[in-house]
A and B are shown apart, each in its own frame.
Chain A
């Protein structure tokens, strides 16, 4: 029998059992839909995360009390000693360290005139922070060493804060209140944009010495630094580690009571996370397709039984085994193929909704579509083989007698 005829005939059959076909497809639709949706979201996540990683820079070492990615006992973390500004300065003096910017953070209300921006990130740091953490000044200037040395009440505004407090006016030279203290605006930074729905521009930066005077010294300092020219990341990190162990009096065989973070830690942590996501997805999709496939097999067996007489007639007028087998196999593959198609549409729709409604830039990848389609087709083929073979092997005479 020509393949075209087989296809047409299969479509006719499936159309005449719309409800049953639809229900049978459901498992496949869910399986392939989940595959496309999750893969699209992971692709989106990858995209936004890699953008964030790039903003950190590959050669930045960030020493802090807690690791960026925490795995283990948080009780232990809480008892750690704070990192002090003196620690930071000692690190800055290491020959293997190039640039170093200590930074501390709090959240305060910022006010100007009648306007208040609530609970905004206030960062205390030094002039080097501009280079290391990649801030660009839009107007005015960044904080300087002189601001720091003299504990000046200078402040550089993030783009969001400038906009909300001053609207279209020029903030430079105006006095604002940061956590109730008076500061003079010396600069406004360029907008950096959003990551995961959180604006990177909702912050102000003040000299670290001024920060400690205004908001207290009892805060752990984060040490951001880069290796000196010609020194490897590895060596720089090792020297920082040894220095801090001595300064913090860590007993010889104890683990570090501080964390040295790099972008590659984030990358590997992130990969571990997406790895788990992928495994979960494989599980869900595999299960859905298995259930869907069993459903397909069940329906195909029912269909073979119902159409025993038809099979008998077809054989009586000259159909061979393979004609019948192929017909049922094609039906099963069309069933799962359509299910896969609907799943891909549904999964893509979910991806677009996610993209529209959340900051996650979900993107439907060709890989996801091809994978979902081939899984669906393979399921149809696998679970269709048994019923189709059974149909092909029916004895024509007995099939014709079947009521």
Chain B
């Protein structure tokens, strides 16, 4: 099993108050699944995504990624896992504005300490795969929203992660462009990638083969279409 969550909770302390963002989550995700996490804002879906993405750690319970317990790792060990196992796609793309598309895509390889020659080849390959070969040396500000999200996708994919995590990936795109991005996700899933999508839009979630709904920090439904 790729992901195993067991009795997972996340409690924030806001002032003197305890806020339970997640309560007793039990869930598994197999390889090559295409999963959407849905829920209204405040339901805990972002917290869940952050924990799965190793940006945050659970307060209680266990999270095993490829059999390895992740909950007790330190900062740098988590960074290592993010570098090798996770690819993030954000709603606001989160490209670094001073770098070209090429450099943005290359960055995870640099942090992963890949050799220069390997990097260049891999970046071209990946940028080509998202159809942006001729825009590689443009900065994000010179690219359209759809193109930016493709760059972000290429960046997420460059280290060939086990999980592609997308947080409202079409939220800042018009519907046509959004649809194009969803097409790429579909292809990626067909090619064997595991994809976890966080969204509050039903029609986006319907691209996935499994939908997990959260409400008040608990799983309210888990359906496979």
Closest CB of chain B to A185's CB: distance in Å? 79
Residue positions of A touching B, CB distance < 8 A: 1-2, 5, 9, 12-13, 16, 309-310, 312-323, 396-397, 400
In the complex, residue of chain A having the shortest beta-carbon distance to the beta carbon of B77? A320
Which residues from 117 to 164 on chain B have a C-beta closer than 8 Å to any C-beta of chain A?
155-156, 159
Closest CB of chain A to B88's CB: distance in Å? 5
10 A–B contacts from the bound complex (CB under 8 Å): A1-B111, A12-B98, A13-B98, A310-B96, A313-B96, A315-B55, A316-B55, A318-B79, A318-B80, A318-B83
For B88, list chain A residues within 8 Å (CB).
316-317
For A317, list chain B residues within 8 Å (CB).
82-83, 88, 107-108, 111, 155-156
Q: A314-B107, A317-B88 are in contact. Are A12 and B79 (CB under 8 A)?
A: no
State how many residues of chain B have any CB contact under 8 Å with chain A. Answer: 27
Q: Does B40 contact A (CB under 8 A)?
A: no
Q: Does B76 contact A (CB under 8 A)?
A: yes
Of B56, B94, B113, the most chain A CB neighbours within 10 A belong to B94
Bound CA–CA A309/B82 (angstroms): 17
For B84, list chain A residues within 8 Å (CB).
318
A1-B110, A316-B94 known; 11 other A-B pairs, CB under 8 Å?
Answer: A1-B111, A2-B116, A13-B98, A313-B96, A317-B83, A317-B108, A317-B111, A318-B82, A320-B75, A320-B79, A400-B90
Bound CA–CA A316/B76 (angstroms): 12
B79 contact from A2, A310, A319, Cβ within 8 A: A319
A320 and B55 form a contact (CB under 8 A): no
Residue positions of B touching A, CB distance < 8 A: 50, 53, 55-56, 75-76, 79-80, 82-84, 88, 90, 94, 96, 98-99, 107-108, 110-113, 116, 155-156, 159
Closest CB of chain B to A331's CB: distance in Å? 13
For A400, list chain B residues within 8 Å (CB).
55, 90, 94
A397 and B55 form a contact (CB under 8 A): yes
Q: A316-B88, A318-B83, A396-B55 are in contact. Are A309 and B94 (CB under 8 A)?
A: yes
A313 contact from B50, B53, B94, Cβ within 8 A: B94
For B111, list chain A residues within 8 Å (CB).
1, 314, 317-320, 323
Bound CA–CA A19/B75 (angstroms): 35
Bound CA–CA A315/B79 (angstroms): 7
A16 contact from B50, B83, B94, B98, Cβ within 8 A: B98
B56 contact from A2, A5, A319, A397, Cβ within 8 A: A397
For A5, list chain B residues within 8 Å (CB).
110
Listed from nearest, the 8 A-B pairs whose CB atoms lie closest are A318-B83, A318-B111, A397-B55, A320-B79, A317-B108, A313-B94, A397-B56, A320-B76
In the complex, residue of chain A having the shortest beta-carbon distance to the beta carbon of B85? A318
In the complex, residue of chain A having the shortest beta-carbon distance to the beta carbon of B155? A317
A321 and B79 form a contact (CB under 8 A): yes
Q: A1-B111, A314-B107, A316-B82 are in contact. Are A321 and B75 (CB under 8 A)?
A: yes
For A315, list chain B residues within 8 Å (CB).
55, 79, 82
For A1, list chain B residues within 8 Å (CB).
110-111, 113
For B108, list chain A residues within 8 Å (CB).
317-318
Bound CA–CA A183/B176 (angstroms): 110
Bound CA–CA A316/B104 (angstroms): 13
Bound CA–CA A177/B192 (angstroms): 112
In the complex, residue of chain A having the shortest beta-carbon distance to the beta carbon of B50? A397
Bound CA–CA A67/B53 (angstroms): 83
In the complex, residue of chain A having the shortest beta-carbon distance to the beta carbon of B107? A317
In the complex, residue of chain B having the shortest beta-carbon distance to the beta carbon of A316? B88
Bound CA–CA A396/B79 (angstroms): 9
A321 and B76 form a contact (CB under 8 A): yes
Bound CA–CA A5/B116 (angstroms): 10
A320 and B80 form a contact (CB under 8 A): yes
Bound CA–CA A5/B115 (angstroms): 12
Q: A316-B88, A397-B50 are in contact. Are A2 and B96 (CB under 8 A)?
A: no
Closest CB of chain B to A97's CB: distance in Å? 80
For B75, list chain A residues within 8 Å (CB).
320-321
Bound CA–CA A16/B139 (angstroms): 13
In the complex, residue of chain A having the shortest beta-carbon distance to the beta carbon of B93? A313
Bound CA–CA A323/B82 (angstroms): 14
Bound CA–CA A318/B94 (angstroms): 14
For B80, list chain A residues within 8 Å (CB).
318, 320
Closest CB of chain B to A8's CB: distance in Å? 9
Closest CB of chain A to B59's CB: distance in Å? 14
Bound CA–CA A314/B83 (angstroms): 10
For A323, list chain B residues within 8 Å (CB).
111
In the complex, residue of chain A having the shortest beta-carbon distance to the beta carbon of B165? A316
In the complex, residue of chain A having the shortest beta-carbon distance to the beta carbon of B116? A2
For A319, list chain B residues within 8 Å (CB).
79, 111
In the complex, residue of chain A having the shortest beta-carbon distance to the beta carbon of B94? A313
B50 and A2 form a contact (CB under 8 A): no
For A314, list chain B residues within 8 Å (CB).
96, 107, 111
In the complex, residue of chain A having the shortest beta-carbon distance to the beta carbon of B75? A321
For B112, list chain A residues within 8 Å (CB).
318
Bound CA–CA A309/B56 (angstroms): 16
